[in-house]
Structures are given as structure tokens and as C-alpha cells.
Amino acid sequence: MFALDVSVTKADGSKQLFNREKVVQTCLKMGATIQMANEVAGQVQRSLFEGVSTRTILQLIFRLMEEYKPEVGHLFDLRTGISLMDSKPEFEMFVQVLLAHSDFDVSPNRILRGKCGRHEVDGIAKRDGVTYFVEIKHHLSYHSLTGLDESRIAQAILEDIQEAVALGLTDFKVDRAMIVTNTRYSEHAVEYGTCKNILLIGWSSPQTLGLREIIEKGNLYPLSCLRGLSHDDRIKFVNSGILLLKQLLEQDGSSITAKTGLPYEVVVEVTKKARAGANALWGQ
């Protein structure tokens, strides 16, 4: 059997033919040269077996890339890094950063008045004259699908708020609902969301606004992608407003120590690993 005829198993259990170009592109995003990327892709291709999982392939890519660029060993892959985040407030803050980078005017969580009750939402985002309320759904397993219930709840909240505006109970108008998640959406969720004009932002959708594309284009990799950083220390960084590798690298160790309360030696070591990891990702 030729390698190109091997089927690989995706996270949702479906199968597709192995695509060598995807391996090349993954390597290039990790700072490989074309020659390195093609060599790694060739080694991956020779290691394939029928039904191999995409996760196994990704793990193999990281292991092989580490031989060319040892600094890759400082990083988790992006999807794993995001799944390791705390849902609140870490992932919520991260989403706000990504939306702001995508030209939304973002404000944090607030309570909105509806006709039948009050609704705490995870944020307000405005762009091109449209006001969205934002619901953020984080999954510890990025294999999980975000389902129909989230879309139904968001639509019910939107309708209740709009009815309150119509009755004069509030003057805060909301035009659309937005849901942001680190996974993909179920088929039923997409069908319902499309019908109700809900903006569904997921791992790779919609085009140009999926989490992966926003992060990779803007080099907005989170600190949770950094291996060897304890959860408690990471949250100290997050609470001081440092969520991204690039934010860490833009500040000096003394100011970070003052903000986080972490020992200077710890900050220096974390920064060293972050710089090496950033070099693997975008040549920082």
C-alpha cells in the first residue's frame, strides 16, 4: 500500500486520506525550512499505517521536529495548549484578546436586562456597527463538539434582551449572539446557528475568523502552550495581564516580577523557554 493511500482517523472518528502537504505546512509553522519540512514529511509518510490517528501523526511531527529544532520541545501543540487553560478567567480573557486583535471593540462580562430576567454574558463585542453579546465555551478535550444547546440558549437570551428593548425596559441594544469555543461545532449547531444568524467562532471556522487562523496570523500563542510552566505560576502571569508568549517577551524581568510576585529567577527561566519556543514558532 502506498503511503498516500493510507487513511488517517480524525478526532471525530471520521477518516480521510493522508495529506502530505498538511505535514509540510505544520512544520513550516513551527519554523522549519522547506527542506526540513519535506524531510519530516517523508519520515512521517514512511511511518504511516492504516487508520493512524491525526493525534499520533502530530506527536510524531513534534518528535521529529525536535531533532531539527530542539526548542520545539518547550511547547505543547496549540490545541493542547488551549485545552489546558482554565475556563474562567483565562480562556475568557484569551478570547477577548483574540477578538480585539480581529478589530472588535470588546468589553468584558456584564449583566444584561431581558424581559423575563437578567442574563450574565461573557462579553460584548462590536464591529461594523453590529453589537454582539458573547458566550464563551471552553472544552478540556478539544475532541468534544460544541452542540446545539449552546446555540439555543444564546438565541433565547438574545430574544429576551430584544423584547426588553422593545418594551422600554432597557436601552442597551444587542443585534446578534456570538459563541466562541476552542472546538468544532456539531452539524445541528451549525445548521441552527446559520438559520438564527448566530456568529459561531470555533477552532477552524468561520473562514478568516477561526481561533487557529487568528492565533497563527497574529502570533498570539498563549502561555499555556509552554511546557514546564506550572499551573499556579501561569495563573499569576495571567492575573497580571500576561496571557501570550509575545506579551511575556515584550517586558523585562524586573517589571514582570513586580507584577506577578514570582521570583526573578523563575521569571528569567520562563522567559528563556518562551523565547526558545517563540523562535520555533515565528523566529522571535
- What was the pLDDT predicted at 211? 96
What topology is assigned to 87-216 in CATH?
Trna Endonuclease; Chain: A, domain 1 (3.40.1350)
HEC assignment per residue over the chain: CCHHHCEEECCCCCEEECCHHHHHHHHHHCCCCHHHHHHHHHHHHHCCCCCCEHHHHHHHHHHHHHHHCHHHHHECCHHHHHHCCCHHHHHHHHHHHHHHHCCCEEECCEEEECCCCEEEECEEEEECCEEEEEEEECCCCCCCEECHHHHHHHHHHHHHHHHHHHCCCCCCCCCEEEEEECCEECHHHHHHHHHCCCEEECCCCCCCCCHHHHHHHHCCCEHHHECCCCHHHHHHHHHCCCCEHHHHHCCCHHHHHHHHCCCHHHHHHHHHHHHHHHHHHHCC
- What was the pLDDT predicted at 147? 95
- What was the pLDDT predicted at 1? 40
- What was the pLDDT predicted at 3? 52
Label the pairing between strands 184-185 and 145-146: parallel
**Residues sharing a CB contact under 8 Å with residue 137, sequence separation 6 or more, in sequence order:** 146, 150, 179, 180, 181
Q: Which residues pair with 179 in a beta bridge?
A: 135, 200
Domain ranges of the chain: 3-68, 87-216, 222-282
| CB-CB contact of 278 with 245 (8 Å) | yes
- What was the pLDDT predicted at 273? 87
Question: What are the pLDDT tens digits along the chain (284 aa)?
Answer: 445 579 998 877 788 999 999 899 888 877 788 998 899 999 999 999 999 988 899 889 888 988 887 777 778 888 999 999 999 999 999 999 999 999 999 999 899 999 999 999 999 999 999 999 999 999 999 889 999 999 999 999 999 999 999 999 999 999 999 999 999 999 999 999 999 999 999 999 998 899 999 998 999 999 999 988 999 999 999 999 999 999 999 999 999 999 999 999 999 999 988 888 887 666 54
| CB-CB contact of 243 with 237 (8 Å) | yes
Answer CATH for 222-282 from 2.40.30, 2.40.50, 1.10.150, 3.30.360: 1.10.150
Q: What are phi and psi of 198, to 5 degrees?
A: -85, 135
Indicate yes or no: pTM above 0.95.
no
* Pairwise CA distance, residues 135 & 87, whole Å: 12
- What was the pLDDT predicted at 4? 57
